[in-house]
Amino acid sequence: MHQCKERARALGTIAYKRFMSGKIHKSSSQIQAMIQ
């Protein structure tokens, strides 16, 4: 039970980091488009 919780937490952290990096990448590409 404890291991399942830890694994779910790790997966959640990875998904969150991916989501945030995707958001940052999207906004930075929008900024570049504005500059050009």
Task: Choose between 13 and 36: higher pLDDT.
Answer: 13
**CA atoms lying within 13 Å on the CB side of residue 11:** 6
Helix (H), strand (E) at residue 16: helix 2-35
- Of 12, 19, 20, 36, nearest in space to 4 by CA: 12
Mean of pLDDT values over 2-9: 87
What is the C-alpha separation between 2 and 24, in angstroms, rounded? 33
Output the pTM of the full model.
Answer: 0.53
pLDDT tens per residue across span 11-34:
999 999 998 888 877 888 887 888
Structural domain boundaries in the chain: 1-35
Dig out the tokens for 22 from the structure: 């995707």
